[in-house]
Amino acid sequence: MIPNRLSSRLTLTALRWTAVSRTCPPSCLSTLSNCFLQSQSARSKDGFHSESAVLRRILCSQSRFKLRPRETQRRSFSLSGANVVNSAPAHVQPYLRLMRLDKPIGTWLLYLPCTWSIALAAEPGCLPDVGMLALFGTGALLMRGAGCTINDMWDKDFDKQVARTACRPVASGEISRMQALVFLGGQLSLALCVLLCLNYYSIALGASSLSLVITYPLMKRITYWPQLVLGFTFNWGALLGWAAVKGSCDWSMCLPLYFSGVMWTLVYDTIYAHQDKEDDVKVGVKSTALMFQERTKLWLSGFTAAMLSGLVVAGVNAEQTLPYYAALSAVAVHLARQIYTVDINKAEDCWKQFSSNRNLGLMLFLGIVAGNLLKESKEI
């Protein structure tokens, strides 16, 4: 008992020093953070739980303090998500981080299937509707934020036990569940305003996806396929984008496109899930990463083949032209390289490969646009 109490007291003392001095290097801060999380249960038993909760919030705040004052002054202004969040008022920052504005990759992955569908629905020889692209971009930002808020409310207790997620605003105590609920209401209200700008068919179709948004975070508790449910959720825009432009879905093109998006999500989110597989085992949540384990690359190759097949079917049904299929070839090379080179046992590499999927989605979008522009010249 005495060694445990001494270890807990030393950890708390070190964290106090870190929070006050702001001179702890990143490597030291990371070590203290891991020690802090691993000894959480011991501190709770020794009576330090309430103090550790406060220090958790301080440490999370300190962990985001990357640059010294002089370095901050020299840094050129950037419109990156992280800089926008850091430039916001202090009381607003936790809410921006709750909706992951500092990590926009998730918004991109939600938005890109919408752009594919909108571009495919454009008239031959025409660019996609820019206003519709902007409207869906706003909706993707809001709905991704709402989804993250729901996820963090459901997973508060799990997130506390995982080093990568322990500093999320709800898990760290910066934002209460009630505050998160009110913020969620605001995001969904704004998203509804965006949805109401569409036709009635699209409004009904878009509203039907809300059940997926709410229930997805629970899937990791009951199935090893939460990534599949995420795929159903994140690629709803492949259906909605076409309906918003055309007034209803042409299933001969929407279904293959939706299917391909789901397969794509299984690829990138399985890679993403490998970052947390050790912590997931400890806290008792499931994922395709845990199910596939060392067979992951074989499964990802199968998902890639299915994705490309669906895109070929969608392209044929949409009478796409050479630039589209050239883009598909580039997508195939990108995915093959991604799967071949990823180190599933190295979290940093998993994140790098996961993030590269934004470029993949943009390549496909540009291929659809270029292929559609070429249709007119063929008809002439």
In whole angstroms, give the CA distance from residue 28 to residue 30.
5
Query: Please, are residues 379 and 123 in contact by the beta-carbon 8 Å criterion?
Result: no
- Token duo for residue 281: 């085992």
Chain centroid offset of residue 51 CA: 32
Sign of CA dihedral 87, 79, 337, 262: positive
DSSP assignment, residue 77? P
Q: What is the maximal distance between C-alpha atoms in the chain?
A: 86
In whole angstroms, give the CA distance from residue 270 to residue 279.
15
Query: Please, are residues 227 and 269 in contact by the beta-carbon 8 Å criterion?
Result: yes
pLDDT, position 284:
87
Query: Please, are residues 224 and 290 in contact by the beta-carbon 8 Å criterion?
Result: yes
In whole angstroms, give the CA distance from residue 141 to residue 145.
6
In whole angstroms, give the CA distance from residue 263 to residue 269.
10
pLDDT, position 61:
52
In whole angstroms, give the CA distance from residue 63 to residue 146.
25
- Token duo for residue 306: 């299915």
pLDDT, position 87:
86
In whole angstroms, give the CA distance from residue 310 to residue 324.
13
Superfamily of domain 89-374 in CATH is: UbiA prenyltransferase (1.10.357.140)
pLDDT, position 166:
83
- What's the predicted TM-score (pTM) here? 0.81
Query: Please, are residues 309 and 339 in contact by the beta-carbon 8 Å criterion?
Result: no
CA atoms within 13 A on the CB side of 108: 17
pLDDT, position 269:
96
Q: Can you give the pLDDT of all 380 residues of the chain as single tens digits?
A: 444 444 444 444 444 444 444 444 444 444 445 444 544 444 444 444 444 454 555 555 554 544 434 444 444 445 677 888 888 898 999 999 999 988 999 999 999 999 999 999 999 999 999 999 999 999 999 999 999 999 899 888 888 887 788 888 998 889 999 999 999 999 999 999 999 999 999 999 999 998 999 888 889 989 999 999 999 999 999 999 999 999 999 999 999 999 999 999 999 999 999 998 888 888 888 999 999 999 999 999 999 999 999 999 999 999 999 999 999 999 999 999 999 999 999 999 999 999 999 999 999 999 999 999 998 654 44
Interior CA angle at 358 toward 320 and 353, to 5°? Answer: 120
In whole angstroms, give the CA distance from residue 263 to residue 257.
10
